[in-house]
Structure 1
Amino acid sequence: MIHAPEHPSWRRRFPASLAMTMAIALKLIPGDRRRMRVRLALTRSVRGLPAADLEDVQEIYRAVVACQPPWWRGQIDCKERSLATVLATALTGRRCHLVLGARPLPAAFHAWVATDDGTPVGDNEAGGHDHPWTPVYTTP
Protein backbone atom coordinates (compact mmCIF):
# COMPACT_ATOMS: atom_id res chain seq x y z
CA MET A 1 0.00 0.00 0.00
CA ILE A 2 1.23 3.47 -0.82
CA HIS A 3 0.65 6.36 1.54
CA ALA A 4 0.99 10.00 0.58
CA PRO A 5 1.41 12.43 3.48
CA GLU A 6 1.35 15.55 1.30
CA HIS A 7 -1.82 17.30 0.19
CA PRO A 8 -1.79 18.36 -3.46
CA SER A 9 -3.11 21.70 -4.61
CA TRP A 10 -6.74 21.99 -5.70
CA ARG A 11 -5.51 22.48 -9.24
CA ARG A 12 -4.19 18.90 -9.17
CA ARG A 13 -6.54 17.38 -6.59
CA PHE A 14 -9.77 17.83 -8.55
CA PRO A 15 -8.66 16.07 -11.78
CA ALA A 16 -6.85 13.41 -9.73
CA SER A 17 -9.95 12.65 -7.65
CA LEU A 18 -12.19 12.54 -10.70
CA ALA A 19 -9.78 10.28 -12.59
CA MET A 20 -9.32 7.97 -9.59
CA THR A 21 -13.10 7.62 -9.29
CA MET A 22 -13.29 6.71 -12.99
CA ALA A 23 -10.47 4.16 -12.62
CA ILE A 24 -12.15 2.55 -9.61
CA ALA A 25 -15.50 2.47 -11.41
CA LEU A 26 -13.84 0.34 -14.10
CA LYS A 27 -13.14 -2.31 -11.46
CA LEU A 28 -16.90 -2.94 -11.38
CA ILE A 29 -16.93 -4.13 -15.01
CA PRO A 30 -17.08 -7.93 -15.03
CA GLY A 31 -14.26 -9.80 -16.74
CA ASP A 32 -10.55 -9.03 -16.72
CA ARG A 33 -10.28 -8.85 -20.51
CA ARG A 34 -13.18 -6.43 -20.80
CA ARG A 35 -11.73 -4.18 -18.09
CA MET A 36 -8.32 -4.13 -19.78
CA ARG A 37 -9.88 -3.31 -23.16
CA VAL A 38 -11.71 -0.36 -21.64
CA ARG A 39 -8.52 0.84 -19.90
CA LEU A 40 -6.53 0.68 -23.14
CA ALA A 41 -9.33 2.36 -25.12
CA LEU A 42 -9.42 5.23 -22.61
CA THR A 43 -5.66 5.70 -22.72
CA ARG A 44 -5.61 5.60 -26.52
CA SER A 45 -8.34 8.24 -26.71
CA VAL A 46 -6.02 10.95 -25.35
CA ARG A 47 -3.28 10.52 -27.97
CA GLY A 48 -4.24 13.73 -29.79
CA LEU A 49 -3.34 15.93 -26.83
CA PRO A 50 0.06 17.63 -26.52
CA ALA A 51 2.68 15.84 -24.43
CA ALA A 52 3.06 16.63 -20.73
CA ASP A 53 6.46 17.35 -19.24
CA LEU A 54 8.02 15.22 -16.52
CA GLU A 55 7.32 17.61 -13.64
CA ASP A 56 3.60 17.78 -14.45
CA VAL A 57 3.28 14.00 -14.71
CA GLN A 58 5.12 13.49 -11.41
CA GLU A 59 2.95 16.08 -9.68
CA ILE A 60 -0.24 14.51 -11.03
CA TYR A 61 0.94 11.03 -10.03
CA ARG A 62 1.57 12.24 -6.47
CA ALA A 63 -1.89 13.85 -6.47
CA VAL A 64 -3.50 10.59 -7.65
CA VAL A 65 -1.75 8.65 -4.89
CA ALA A 66 -2.80 11.25 -2.33
CA CYS A 67 -6.43 11.22 -3.54
CA GLN A 68 -7.10 7.52 -3.13
CA PRO A 69 -10.64 7.51 -1.69
CA PRO A 70 -11.17 6.27 1.85
CA TRP A 71 -14.64 5.00 0.93
CA TRP A 72 -13.23 2.29 -1.36
CA ARG A 73 -12.56 -0.78 0.78
CA GLY A 74 -11.04 -2.82 -2.02
CA GLN A 75 -7.47 -2.82 -3.18
CA ILE A 76 -6.28 -0.06 -5.50
CA ASP A 77 -3.63 -1.54 -7.75
CA CYS A 78 -0.97 -0.03 -9.95
CA LYS A 79 -3.33 -0.38 -12.93
CA GLU A 80 -5.84 1.96 -11.35
CA ARG A 81 -3.20 4.46 -10.21
CA SER A 82 -1.54 4.59 -13.62
CA LEU A 83 -4.86 4.83 -15.49
CA ALA A 84 -5.96 7.59 -13.13
CA THR A 85 -2.68 9.42 -13.81
CA VAL A 86 -3.22 9.20 -17.57
CA LEU A 87 -6.83 10.41 -17.22
CA ALA A 88 -5.95 13.21 -14.78
CA THR A 89 -3.20 14.37 -17.12
CA ALA A 90 -5.72 14.36 -19.96
CA LEU A 91 -8.12 16.43 -17.85
CA THR A 92 -5.38 19.07 -17.62
CA GLY A 93 -5.07 19.11 -21.42
CA ARG A 94 -1.89 17.02 -21.73
CA ARG A 95 -1.05 13.37 -22.24
CA CYS A 96 1.28 10.70 -20.93
CA HIS A 97 1.54 7.00 -21.77
CA LEU A 98 0.34 3.94 -19.86
CA VAL A 99 3.06 1.28 -19.72
CA LEU A 100 2.45 -2.37 -18.86
CA GLY A 101 5.51 -4.35 -17.88
CA ALA A 102 6.83 -7.49 -16.27
CA ARG A 103 9.94 -8.98 -14.71
CA PRO A 104 11.12 -12.58 -14.62
CA LEU A 105 12.43 -13.01 -11.06
CA PRO A 106 10.51 -12.59 -8.87
CA ALA A 107 7.81 -12.99 -11.51
CA ALA A 108 5.37 -10.08 -11.42
CA PHE A 109 3.44 -7.62 -13.55
CA HIS A 110 3.26 -3.87 -13.07
CA ALA A 111 1.75 -0.76 -14.66
CA TRP A 112 3.20 2.75 -14.64
CA VAL A 113 3.12 5.89 -16.75
CA ALA A 114 5.80 7.41 -18.94
CA THR A 115 6.38 10.78 -20.53
CA ASP A 116 6.77 11.22 -24.27
CA ASP A 117 10.53 10.72 -24.05
CA GLY A 118 10.08 7.45 -22.13
CA THR A 119 10.90 8.66 -18.61
CA PRO A 120 8.99 6.37 -16.20
CA VAL A 121 6.83 7.65 -13.34
CA GLY A 122 5.56 5.20 -10.72
CA ASP A 123 7.73 2.31 -11.81
CA ASN A 124 9.54 2.01 -8.49
CA GLU A 125 6.53 1.40 -6.24
CA ALA A 126 6.78 -2.41 -6.33
CA GLY A 127 10.51 -2.89 -5.94
CA GLY A 128 11.43 -1.55 -9.36
CA HIS A 129 14.96 -0.57 -8.36
CA ASP A 130 15.98 -3.99 -7.02
CA HIS A 131 14.40 -5.94 -9.86
CA PRO A 132 13.83 -3.66 -12.87
CA TRP A 133 10.67 -3.84 -14.94
CA THR A 134 10.70 -4.58 -18.66
CA PRO A 135 8.08 -2.65 -20.64
CA VAL A 136 5.85 -5.01 -22.59
CA TYR A 137 3.21 -2.62 -23.94
CA THR A 138 3.09 1.17 -24.13
CA THR A 139 -0.04 3.00 -25.24
CA PRO A 140 0.41 5.30 -28.23
Structure 2
Amino acid sequence: MTQMIHAPARPPWRLRLPAHLALVVALALRALPERRRLRARLALAGAVRRLPPAAPDHVIALYAAVVACQPRWWRGQIDCKERSLATVLATALTGRRCHLVLGARPLPTAFHAWVAAPDGTHVGNEEAGGADHPWTPVHTTP
Protein backbone atom coordinates (compact mmCIF):
# COMPACT_ATOMS: atom_id res chain seq x y z
CA MET A 1 0.00 0.00 0.00
CA THR A 2 1.36 3.42 -0.93
CA GLN A 3 1.69 5.99 1.81
CA MET A 4 0.53 9.50 0.93
CA ILE A 5 2.96 12.27 1.80
CA HIS A 6 1.31 15.60 2.45
CA ALA A 7 2.99 18.97 2.37
CA PRO A 8 3.92 20.06 5.89
CA ALA A 9 2.19 23.02 7.48
CA ARG A 10 3.74 26.39 6.82
CA PRO A 11 5.99 27.33 9.77
CA PRO A 12 5.95 30.77 11.41
CA TRP A 13 8.25 33.53 10.11
CA ARG A 14 10.64 33.27 13.06
CA LEU A 15 11.47 29.72 11.88
CA ARG A 16 10.91 30.13 8.16
CA LEU A 17 13.47 32.90 7.62
CA PRO A 18 16.45 31.03 9.14
CA ALA A 19 15.33 27.85 7.37
CA HIS A 20 15.29 29.58 3.97
CA LEU A 21 18.70 31.19 4.50
CA ALA A 22 20.24 27.96 5.73
CA LEU A 23 18.80 25.97 2.82
CA VAL A 24 20.30 28.40 0.32
CA VAL A 25 23.73 27.97 1.91
CA ALA A 26 23.40 24.17 2.09
CA LEU A 27 22.29 23.94 -1.53
CA ALA A 28 25.04 26.32 -2.67
CA LEU A 29 27.61 23.83 -1.39
CA ARG A 30 26.49 21.47 -4.14
CA ALA A 31 28.32 23.76 -6.59
CA LEU A 32 31.63 22.75 -5.01
CA PRO A 33 33.60 19.84 -6.43
CA GLU A 34 32.45 16.58 -4.88
CA ARG A 35 35.70 15.94 -3.03
CA ARG A 36 35.40 19.27 -1.17
CA ARG A 37 31.71 19.17 -0.23
CA LEU A 38 32.06 16.96 2.85
CA ARG A 39 34.92 19.02 4.24
CA ALA A 40 32.93 22.24 3.73
CA ARG A 41 29.82 20.75 5.38
CA LEU A 42 31.81 19.58 8.40
CA ALA A 43 33.60 22.94 8.69
CA LEU A 44 30.30 24.84 8.65
CA ALA A 45 28.67 22.48 11.14
CA GLY A 46 31.69 22.63 13.45
CA ALA A 47 31.85 26.43 13.40
CA VAL A 48 28.84 26.71 15.71
CA ARG A 49 30.38 24.81 18.65
CA ARG A 50 30.64 27.85 20.95
CA LEU A 51 26.93 28.66 20.83
CA PRO A 52 24.69 27.62 23.73
CA PRO A 53 22.82 24.31 23.30
CA ALA A 54 19.39 24.21 21.72
CA ALA A 55 16.35 22.60 23.26
CA PRO A 56 15.17 19.43 21.49
CA ASP A 57 11.77 20.91 20.61
CA HIS A 58 13.51 23.91 19.00
CA VAL A 59 15.65 21.60 16.83
CA ILE A 60 12.58 19.54 15.87
CA ALA A 61 10.67 22.70 14.91
CA LEU A 62 13.57 23.99 12.79
CA TYR A 63 13.96 20.61 11.07
CA ALA A 64 10.26 20.70 10.19
CA ALA A 65 10.69 24.26 8.91
CA VAL A 66 13.63 23.21 6.71
CA VAL A 67 11.58 20.35 5.27
CA ALA A 68 8.63 22.67 4.63
CA CYS A 69 10.70 25.46 3.04
CA GLN A 70 12.05 23.83 -0.10
CA PRO A 71 12.74 26.66 -2.56
CA ARG A 72 10.55 26.78 -5.68
CA TRP A 73 13.62 27.15 -7.89
CA TRP A 74 15.01 23.80 -6.67
CA ARG A 75 13.45 21.13 -8.89
CA GLY A 76 14.93 18.03 -7.31
CA GLN A 77 14.68 16.35 -3.97
CA ILE A 78 16.79 17.79 -1.17
CA ASP A 79 19.04 15.07 0.24
CA CYS A 80 19.48 14.25 3.90
CA LYS A 81 22.92 15.92 3.90
CA GLU A 82 21.49 19.26 2.83
CA ARG A 83 18.47 19.03 5.17
CA SER A 84 20.67 18.19 8.14
CA LEU A 85 23.24 20.88 7.42
CA ALA A 86 20.46 23.42 6.86
CA THR A 87 18.96 22.49 10.23
CA VAL A 88 22.32 22.98 11.97
CA LEU A 89 22.78 26.35 10.23
CA ALA A 90 19.20 27.46 10.94
CA THR A 91 19.67 26.58 14.59
CA ALA A 92 22.89 28.63 14.59
CA LEU A 93 21.07 31.57 13.02
CA THR A 94 18.70 31.51 16.00
CA GLY A 95 21.68 31.65 18.38
CA ARG A 96 21.77 27.98 19.41
CA ARG A 97 23.64 24.84 18.36
CA CYS A 98 22.95 21.23 17.51
CA HIS A 99 25.10 18.48 16.03
CA LEU A 100 25.38 17.11 12.50
CA VAL A 101 25.59 13.30 12.60
CA LEU A 102 26.80 11.13 9.72
CA GLY A 103 25.93 7.47 9.97
CA ALA A 104 25.74 4.17 8.15
CA ARG A 105 24.25 0.71 8.40
CA PRO A 106 25.52 -2.63 7.14
CA LEU A 107 22.40 -4.30 5.72
CA PRO A 108 21.03 -2.91 3.52
CA THR A 109 24.18 -0.89 3.03
CA ALA A 110 23.45 2.82 3.11
CA PHE A 111 24.65 6.16 4.45
CA HIS A 112 22.54 8.85 6.10
CA ALA A 113 22.86 12.24 7.81
CA TRP A 114 20.68 13.57 10.61
CA VAL A 115 20.73 16.08 13.45
CA ALA A 116 21.20 15.49 17.17
CA ALA A 117 20.18 17.94 19.86
CA PRO A 118 22.83 18.50 22.54
CA ASP A 119 20.87 16.31 24.98
CA GLY A 120 21.08 13.36 22.56
CA THR A 121 17.66 13.57 20.87
CA HIS A 122 17.99 12.47 17.24
CA VAL A 123 15.99 14.31 14.57
CA GLY A 124 15.69 12.95 11.03
CA ASN A 125 17.26 9.55 11.66
CA GLU A 126 13.96 7.72 11.11
CA GLU A 127 14.06 8.55 7.40
CA ALA A 128 15.07 5.94 4.82
CA GLY A 129 14.00 3.00 6.95
CA GLY A 130 15.75 4.07 10.12
CA ALA A 131 13.07 2.45 12.26
CA ASP A 132 13.46 -0.98 10.61
CA HIS A 133 17.23 -0.92 10.15
CA PRO A 134 18.81 1.46 12.69
CA TRP A 135 21.63 3.79 11.76
CA THR A 136 25.02 3.68 13.47
CA PRO A 137 26.62 7.11 14.02
CA VAL A 138 30.05 7.30 12.38
CA HIS A 139 30.88 10.99 12.86
CA THR A 140 29.30 13.70 15.01
CA THR A 141 30.32 17.33 14.78
CA PRO A 142 31.29 18.89 18.13
TM-score tier (shorter)? over 0.9
- Residue 42 of structure 1 corresponds to 44
In 2, the alpha carbon distance for the partners of 1:65 and 1:54 equals: 17
Match of 1:56 among 35, 52, 58: 58
- Residue 12 of structure 1 corresponds to 15
1:43 and 1:86 in contact (8 A); partners too: yes
- How does 1:69-108 map onto structure 2 within 5 Å? 69-108=71-110
SS in structure 2 opposite 1:81?
helix
In 2, the alpha carbon distance for the partners of 1:97 and 1:13 equals: 20
In 2, the alpha carbon distance for the partners of 1:29 and 1:129 equals: 32
Q: TM-score, normalised by structure 2?
A: 0.94
- Residue 27 of structure 2 corresponds to 24
SS in structure 2 opposite 1:69?
coil
Shift of 1:3: 5.5
In structure 2, give the amino acid aligned to 1:53: A
Runs of 4 or more consecutive aligned structure 1 residues displaced over 2 Å after TM superposition: 2-5
Gaps of 5+ in 1: none
Q: TM-score, normalised by structure 1?
A: 0.95
* Percent identity of equivalent pairs: 72
1:86 and 1:113 in contact (8 A); partners too: yes
2:56 and 2:119 in contact (8 A); partners too: no
Gaps of 5+ in 2: none
1:4 and 1:62 in contact (8 A); partners too: no
